[in-house]
Structure 1
Amino acid sequence: MINRSICIFPEFDNVEEIEELREKYDPLHSCISPHITLVHPFTSSLQKRELINHIQDCLIGFKPFEIRCQNVTGADGHYLFLNVKKGNDHIIELRDRLYQGILKRHHARELSYIPHVTVGKLNGEETFQKALHDTEEFNTEFSSVVHKISVEQIGEDGTSMIEYDHYF
């Protein structure tokens, strides 16, 4: 069984500002680059070729698109999200297409999906509130053109290894 996810790894020119936030607030900052999760981590025995075929079939005709991220907000009482301000519809369409067919059973429909880059995961209400306060003035704009998605394998220690890049 392999643990995987499918993500967008935006290529921001000013990514070091996101990395500074993540180093301070995100325990996974050294395991995975800043990303937007399309298919949440799932464990399966799917062969790489099956997954590649699925992605290729689902994304026929999909074109590159621009995203813009800005402002940090909280979610679920312990996450910090860098919000996607432009490109949401394209991201949601990618996600919807991917969660068809062989990945449908891995779709957790009880969770609402809001496109974002996770920049923090905090423990405790006080720590969470302090992080929200500390990031209140973080207004840097991050822009990128999305032209690929990536399948990552997730190691037992949480590290990410790119298994496949799909360009469109």
Structure 2
Amino acid sequence: MRFGVALFPSKQLQDWVNSYRKRYDPHYSLIAPHLTLVNAFEATEEEAETIASQLREAVKNHEPFMLKTSKISSFHPVNNVIYLKVDPQEAITALHKDLNDLLESPGMQYKFVPHITVGQKLSDDEHWDVYGALKMQGIDHEEEIDRVHLLYQLENGQWTVYETFRLGKEAEL
């Protein structure tokens, strides 16, 4: 099975992102808007229980934090992905690093850039049209993130939550 670790922003931010994703992201129906902390990796169902236990302990070392967004950006020319840039901060970077160290960095291809995908797999012309329009409006948003999720991929390609973990020493499900 394929697993990954992500955080989901508020419904308000998801609704804004989805208003574009439904047109510009072929993965729109497969997963809600999210910030990937650990890229997809293979594990058995038995291994998933151990991974969940390890994650449950690891997230206790990370307190809830503020997620801030302020602009639209792009990974062009590497690929035609348009994303909502999450302002970098130590809390997100440390959480990403610890979880990837714990799981031995599965699927790491690129440097970690905290973001929420708005559009992907676009032609060059479509990429520049959409990017130009979105970049002019930007989005200032701030919210507290207090949980992360271990996800697994269903046979039809959709991702669903395997287990949710509250951040912080005092957090209980």
Same fold (TM over 0.5): yes
Give, in whole Å, the separation in 1 of the partners of 2:37 and 2:59.
Answer: 13
The equivalent residue for 2:95 is: 94
* % same residue: 18
- Residue deviations 1:4-32, cap 9 Å, x none? 11001011534322110111211111221
Equivalent in the alignment of 2:104: 104
Counterpart residue identity of residue 96, structure 1: K
CA distance in 2: counterparts of 1:16 and 1:105, whole angstroms: 30
Name the structure 2 match of 1:119: 118
Whole-Å separation in 2 of the counterparts to 1:77 and 1:49: 35
2:35, 2:116 within 8 Å by CA — same for their partners in 1? Answer: yes
Structure 1 CA distance, aligned partners of 2:122 and 2:94? 32
Structure-1 residue corresponding to 2:79: 77
1:53-109: per-residue Cα shift (whole Å, max 9, x none)? 211232233111111112111112310110012x532111111111123x105152x
Query: Which residue type is aligned with residue 92 of structure 1?
Result: T
String of CA shifts for 1:117-163, please: whole Å, max 9, x gaps.
01110332112111211212222222221100001111233211111
Gaps of 5+ in 1: none
Residue correspondences, number: 164
Residue 35 (structure 1) aligns with: 34
Higher helix share goes to which structure? 2
Output the amino acid matched with 1:141. Answer: D
Q: Retained in 1: the 8 A contact 2:38–2:105?
A: no
When normalised by structure 2's length, the TM-score is 0.86
- Aligned equivalents of 2:30 and 2:90: distance in 1? 28
Letter of the structure 2 residue corresponding to residue 88 of structure 1: Q
Structure 2, unaligned runs of 5 or more: 168-173
- Any idea what SS the aligned residue of 1:33 has? coil
Partner of 2:161: 162
Question: Matched residues in 2 for 1:140 and 1:123: separation?
Answer: 21
Q: Does the residue aligned with 2:148 lie in a helix, a strand or coil?
A: strand
RMSD (Å) for aligned C-alpha atoms = 1.8
Query: In structure 2, what is the Cα distance between the partners aligned to 1:142 and 1:28?
Result: 23
Q: Determine helix, strand or coil for the equivalent of 2:165.
A: strand
Partner of residue 16, structure 1: 15
- Go from structure 1 to structure 2 and tell me whether the alpha carbon gap of 1:105 and 1:141 turns closer, same or farther (over 3 Å shift): closer
Q: Measure, in 1, the Cα distance between the counterparts of 2:93 and 2:132.
A: 29
Using a 3 Å threshold, how does the CA distance of structure 1 residues 61 and 77 change in structure 2: closer, same or farther?
closer
